[in-house]
Amino acid sequence: MTISTTKKIAGAATAAGLLVALAGCGSAPTATSTTTAPAVAGFKPCIVSDAGGWNDKSFNEYAKKGLDEAAATLGVTPVEVQSSSANDYAPNLESLVAANCTLIISVGFNLAADTVKSALANPNLQYAIVDDSADLNNDGKTDAPNIKPLLFNTVEAGYLGGYAAAAWSAQDGVNKVGTFGGMQIPPVTIFMDGFIDGVQKYNTDKGANVQTFGWDVASQKGVFTGGFEANDTAKQTAKSILDQGVDVILPVGGPIYQSAAQAIKESGKNTVMLGVDSDLAVADPSVASVLLTSITKHVDNAVRDTVIAAAAGKYDPTPYVGTLANGGVGLADFHDFTSKLPAGLTDELAKLQSEIIAGTLTVTSPSSPK
């Protein structure tokens, strides 16, 4: 990838300003409880994963991280059970009830139905669920009064990621970017909506024609692997997007980023990818050489603060929604690619972020938290 010296210097000069701004919006949500207070008598926090496991470098791992941090602060011992498939959700929840857990955290949209069932059967227990509103009836209300949804409006951060991807591809003269997902569920498609809309924003602002592959916002149809496993299916799906000639790709779905990185490296091309959920350059340095940036959501902070509040007797089932404004979502550092960014990009991203926070730029998705 050939980049002019002028572009390299300009990109480096402006990057620091943006990264300061993004760091401010990517920090932990402030806990409302006193973190040094002892836990209420009998407090026992527990967590159940979605498929993908605790080492997915994504929402499972970071939910567990948040619980572990809270437990260490409180001096309590959590119970953590891992799901290998959907068949494990209900029995895993039952095992946590039997273990006398007082707060049960379900990690992921896929656990919603079983979590609602468990919460209704155990009204004296407290629950939280990551990435779902627990509204199976679609009436705008949580289906059990003892479930706290932990939601993230990642379309906002995805928009910034899409704009950055378009700028990178336009700089290379390729003008093609793509995305694919694990499962077609709202916590996945919300990233893809933001990404595609951010590319279109770049095209509008710059009079460019960066093409997108893998997801259509209008029809809500696109390319998916059918799961979150890093396997040959995921690699071949990534390859199908790479074969369109893209030089930036966004895999959305936990460990499938590993398959995308493998497909990129095997292609021998200068393609880069975007990560999701965590800053993958930090979480998994093995992919840093092909990682432009990551679209982050701070599941760990939301879980940690929920646990600490519950431990202090201040459990509140009101949904938490992470946004750019409150630091629940954000765009990570560009790391090794900072000096190679197009001139002015970081200032443009900072401006877009400010406009989204101010409400002068509306960024939304059919999957945005209601």
The torsion angles phi and psi of 248, rounded to 5 degrees, stand at -140, 135
> What CATH number does domain 5-27+154-297+334-358 carry, 3.40.50.2300, 3.30.40.10, 3.20.130.10, 3.40.50.150?
3.40.50.2300
Decide if pLDDT at 31 tops 90.
no
- For the residues 333-346, what does the mean pLDDT come to? 97
DSSP-derived 3-state class of residue 224? strand
The two tokens of residue 363 are 């960024």
C-beta atoms surrounding 223 within 10 Å: 17
pLDDT of 55 reads: 82
The two tokens of residue 126 are 């407290």
End-to-end alpha-carbon separation of the chain, Å? 42
Question: Which alpha helices (DSSP H) does 285-340 contain, by range?
Answer: 299-311
pTM for the whole thing?
A: 0.87
Domain 45-152+301-322: which CATH class? Answer: alpha beta
pLDDT of 2 reads: 29
- For the residues 181-194, what does the mean pLDDT come to? 96
C-alpha to C-alpha distance for 316 and 298, rounded to whole angstroms: 19
pLDDT of 240 reads: 98
- For the residues 334-346, what does the mean pLDDT come to? 97
Of residues 95 and 5, the one with the higher pLDDT is 95
What's 360's DSSP letter?
S
* Pairing assessment for the beta strands 329-331 and 147-152 based on DSSP bridges: unpaired
**Which residue from 207, 187, 194 is spatially nearest to 163, judged by alpha carbons?**
194
Tell me the pLDDT band of 106, cut-offs 50, 70 and 90: very high
Question: Which alpha helices (DSSP H) does the chain contain, by range?
Answer: 5-25, 59-74, 89-98, 112-121, 155-172, 186-206, 232-242, 256-267, 280-283, 299-311, 345-358
Q: Tokens 């209420």 label which residue?
A: 40
Of residues 16 and 254, the one with the higher pLDDT is 254
Enclosing H/E stretch for 213: strand 211-213
Number of H-type helices and E-type strands within the chain: 11, 14
C-alpha to C-alpha distance for 271 and 1, rounded to whole angstroms: 9
C-alpha to C-alpha distance for 83 and 49, rounded to whole angstroms: 5
Decide if pLDDT at 22 tops 50.
no
Sign for the CA dihedral angle at 64, 115, 29, 314 comes to negative
What is the CA 112 to chain-centroid distance, rounded?
18
- For the residues 249-267, what does the mean pLDDT come to? 96
Fold match, 5-27+154-297+334-358 / 45-152+301-322: yes
Mean confidence (pLDDT) of the chain: 90
- For the residues 89-116, what does the mean pLDDT come to? 97
Residues in the chain: 370
The residue extents of the domains of the chain are: 5-27+154-297+334-358, 45-152+301-322
Residues 196, 204 contacting (CB under 8 angstroms):
no
C-alpha to C-alpha distance for 46 and 251, rounded to whole angstroms: 30
- For the residues 45-63, what does the mean pLDDT come to? 87
Tell me the pLDDT band of 37, cut-offs 50, 70 and 90: low
pLDDT of 34 reads: 39
pLDDT digits (tens, 9 = 90+) for 133-158: 999 998 989 999 999 999 999 999 99
* Residues 6+ away with beta carbon under 8 Å from 80: 46, 47, 49, 54, 64, 67
The torsion angles phi and psi of 53, rounded to 5 degrees, stand at 85, 170
pLDDT digits (tens, 9 = 90+) for 347-361: 999 999 999 999 999
Provide the angle, in degrees to the nearest 10, between the axes of the packed helices 232-242 and 256-267.
50
